[in-house]
Chains A and B, each alone.
Chain A
Amino acid sequence: MTNGGRARFSRRGFIKGTMAAALAGGPMGGMLTAAAAQASRTDATLTWGEDQDYATLDPRVTQSRHEAQAIMQMFESLLFLDTDGRFYPWLAQRWQYSKDGKSITFALRRDVKFHDGTAFNAEAVKFTFDTIMDPKLGSQGAIDFLGPYKSTDVIDPYTVRVNWTEPFAAALTNLSNPWLLSIVSPTAVRKLGNNGFARSPVGTGPFKFMEWVPRVHVVMERNDAYNWAPSPFKRQGPSALKRIVIRIIPDDSTRVAALDRGEIDICDQVPPIEVKRIQGGQGFDMMIGEVSGIPLAHLINTQLEPTDDLRVRQAYMYAINRPQVVQQVFFGVAKPAYGPITPTTPGYWPGVEKLFTYDPAKARQLLDEAGWKVGPGGIRTKNGRPLEIHFITLLEPDLEVAVQAAVKDVGIKLNVERVTKAHQDEMVMHGQYNVGEIRWVAVDPSVLDIPFFSRNVPAPGKFKFNWSRFGSPELDRMLRLADGQIDVKQRDKTLAEIQQFVLQRGLMFPVHVSPQPIGFRRAVRNLKFAQGYWQVLFYGASVD
């Protein structure tokens, strides 16, 4: 594909384009008033084609970004964090950090009701957070998002103070998460029990739960009482959409065919090869989210030969022409990633873009210095042993095969082994790999703790994510410091040091930002990416 094509499909371009269309294309320049709302139908059903099946719809339990797509239409959190990186009032109108950074006090809205009629108040907030901490619930995501949670104090019916045992810099970001720390109806949980609630959830959001048929669909209907949308929606009152259907279609080509046929309005995870066709097709459009968090990245084992040698790790990183490899596999739909967190993640340090850019001469020089001399077939050897790097892949085998070809040029033989999840876990716990791959959607940079904190080095029986198996007091100190820095400027400085450190030590080789390519019928308007650029919020959308 030409450079022009690449530019056209750059995701940032897409996002900007979509935003601009939403702002300028609307009849009131984004100010969606009653008149504008009338222009679109109010009886429309919006059908979203989803690529993965669901197991729970309880925000306190889930850890799946797929379930989040349904959950965040029905639930709301205390704050709204928009894709512009700013916090807006939502269920809380104001908030205030305590001086020691260990508590935040929230003044709550007084006019909010859950779908079952229960009033939203300080009790509901306390109930939600306290039950998340209960081991019997089996929380998979929310409990980690509460961090060093201590307690919630009800100060009066509409004032609540959340306390942590130590200063918690990720607190505001995490509390703004609309699918993990959103507030549940205490009445409904008490009535239905945890398992019942997971299948019949009750929140405060713009859509109410109606039906869930496993492996088929989740159906939601407009909450007619809704009147507390956060300001970035530029809309108030009930949604223009009558019904939302999340249709589970696991097979990529079927899902795209269903979009072509008009059986669904929106198709998530459009395969990169289809993006251009849909974009150019009549009546269809694409928006591509540039997902926040950890990009698709290679974690390099520092404890196993030959990657225990820093020079080998650095040579590996210099040997791969990221823009080229990513273009080959994603046809311009994904952007190369240079840092351990992606550009849409708060705290991103642009300096990463200058580190370990493609330099095969440098790679060869490093390998020469490390004693690996070019041998038969172009593969380097040392003491009669070939330079083999064992790569276990689960997420993106196609990409890793392209990487395999790239590093061969400098004399590295990359043995790419495709593994099942169960097999991967075993090899990770026992350290039997040189390189593994990860990627996560996350909004707060504290996600860096997970692959880099020394306490997260895997061990037999303990599956964890520090796959570079690198523990250093210096890195731990920086990570801990960033976790507690409430001041954003100071924190960003620490985060920049961390990003530089992990690259220079050859712990991680970031490859590409995860794309969320969403195809939709052009009649669907004002779709909006949620924070993290993975899920789409339906509240402000309409159908012509």
Chain B
Amino acid sequence: MSQYVLRKLMWAVPVLVVATTCAFLVLHLIPGDPVNLMLSGRPASERVRENLRAKLGLNRPLPAQYVYFALHALHGDFGESFATGQPVSQVIAQQLPASLQLAGAGFIVGVGGGLTLGIAAGLYPNTAVDAAAMFLALVGISMPGYWIAMLLIYLFGLRLGWVPIVGSGVPALILPAVVFGSYAIGNLARLVRSSILDVRGEDYIRTARAKGLVERVVVLRHALRNALFPVVTMTGLLLGLFIGGGVITETVFARQGIGALLVTSILTKDYPVVQALLLLTTAAYVFANVLVDVVYGVIDPRIRYG
């Protein structure tokens, strides 16, 4: 098992190298001069532009820039942000805690809500409970995050005044977590429902009932456990997505976070920040995948990794 995990993690290295190299090339090949983008249409003179190009090392040829980037990245040094002049590690470190908070809270809301709705719908198919749960799931999947956010802000922030709109601390995390988790709620609920319905027809469920187990045990030990596989896969993907950040949630609720940071950095071609963030999110996906494999082994004793 541990050997398997180790091997999986080793594979992450070439994945990361390819990902960052691709990102470097794409970023540099698409048109747009970082200096002009940074000045965002402000009337700066040619002198300002030349000074900035020299300061940011953009007047060197592309291969030289790549070698410089790669050598430093190997030592964990991603350079300084073009926009702020701060070390990239510091820029990200400032934003990451908020992202992890949001990912954690959104994950709890999403997985908790998704499982609850999915199980309820799966156990009572074609009832009012099912219809209500699936309606909520549909809303979660199809309504854009910013629209849900605006409605929640209006209702709970403005009209009822229960939670702050742009404050800090746990109360200010509630609405963002709901918005961030809503997509996961919808996705998971539908998946859990259909896999429970699939499982319910299986022979072992009939056997479990036949031997006189109470319904609760049938559901929890037999039905749910087997219905969980697709759910774990989906949860793993969502975990990667969550760590990658929620641009919309961060922007609408004026929160810190690496999602909005990534988007701004791409738009202004802040190469050092983009490189480091891509490395980070790629690593998060790899990590989430390994985690999914491990969890498979835990819930299904038949799965063994050699």
Q: Which residues of A contact B (CB under 8 A)?
A: 53, 55-56, 63-64, 135-141, 143-144, 194-195, 198-199, 213-216, 247-251, 253-255, 257-258, 260-261, 263-264, 394-395, 420-423, 425-426, 438, 440, 442, 447, 450, 462-465
**Across the interface, do B165 and A261 meet the contact criterion of CB distance under 8 Å?**
yes
Q: Which of A254, A464, A465 contacts B153 (CB 8 A)?
A: A254
Q: Which residues of B contact A215 (CB under 8 A)?
A: 95, 254-257, 260-261
In the complex, the chain B residue whose C-beta lies closest to that of A134 is B51
Contacts of B31 in A (CB 8 A): 422-423, 425-426
CA of A35 to CA of B31 in the docked complex: distance in angstroms? 61
Interface positions, chain B 134-187, Cβ under 8 Å from A, are 150, 153-154, 157-158, 161, 164-168
Interchain CB contact under 8 A, B166 and A258: yes
A248 shortest CB reach to chain B, Å: 6
B284 located at the interface, meaning its Cβ lies under 8 Å from any Cβ of chain A in the complex: no
In the assembled complex, B267 has its CB within 8 A of some CB on chain A:
yes
20 contacts between A and B (CB under 8 A): A63-B39, A138-B85, A139-B51, A140-B48, A195-B80, A195-B85, A198-B84, A199-B84, A214-B95, A215-B255, A216-B256, A247-B254, A249-B254, A253-B150, A253-B153, A254-B253, A257-B157, A263-B164, A394-B41, A421-B37
Question: Would B48 and A440 count as touching, CB distance under 8 A?
Answer: no
Q: Flag if B254 contacts A422 (CB, 8 Å).
A: no
Q: How many CB-defined contacts (below 8 Å) exist between A and B?
A: 141
Known: A215-B95, A450-B43. A254 touches B51 (CB 8 A): no
| Chain B residues close to A by CB (< 8 Å) | 30-33, 36-52, 54-56, 80, 83-86, 91, 94-95, 150, 153-154, 157-158, 161, 164-168, 251-257, 260-261, 264, 267, 269
Q: Report which of B48, B154, B256 forms a contact with A139, defined as CB distance below 8 A.
A: B48
Report B-chain residues with C-beta under 8 Å of the C-beta of A199: 84, 86
Query: What are the 4 tightest A-B residue pairs by CB atom distance, in nearest-first order?
Result: A422-B32, A249-B254, A450-B43, A195-B85
Task: List, in ascending order, chain A residues with CB within 8 A of B157's CB.
Answer: 257, 261
Interface centre among A143, A215, A250 (most CB of B within 10 A): A215
Known: A248-B254, A263-B164. A141 touches B44 (CB 8 A): yes
* Contact yes or no, A140 B39, CB < 8 A: yes
Query: With A140-B52, A440-B42, A465-B43 as given contacts, are A53 and B164 in contact (CB-CB < 8 Å)?
Result: no
How many angstroms from the CA of A264 to the CA of B91 in the assembled complex?
Answer: 26
Cross-interface CB contact of B32 among A258, A261, A426, A438, cutoff 8 Å? A426
A440 to B166, CA, bound (A): 30
Smallest Cβ distance from A454 to chain B, in angstroms? 14
Q: In the complex the two chains form, what is the Cα distance from A519 to B131 in whole Å?
A: 44
**Residues of chain A with a CB closer than 8 A to B164's CB:** 261, 263
From B49, B84, B166, B267, A249 is in contact (CB under 8 Å) with B166
> Closest Cβ of chain A: how far from B210's Cβ, in Å?
57
- CB of A68, distance to nearest CB on chain B (Å): 12
Measured between beta carbons, the chain A residues less than 8 angstroms from B252 are 251, 254
Contacts of B37 in A (CB 8 A): 421-422, 425
Residues of B within 8 A of A465 (CB): 43
Task: Return chain B residues, CB-CB under 8 Å to A144.
Answer: 43-45, 47-48
Least CB distance from B69 to A in Å reads: 20
Closest to A65 in B: B42
Alpha-carbon gap, A447 to B43, bound state (A): 8
Q: A139-B48, A144-B48, A425-B32 are in contact. Are A261 and B95 (CB under 8 A)?
A: no
- Identify the interface centre among B31, B158, B164, B253: most chain A CB within 10 Å of its CB: B31
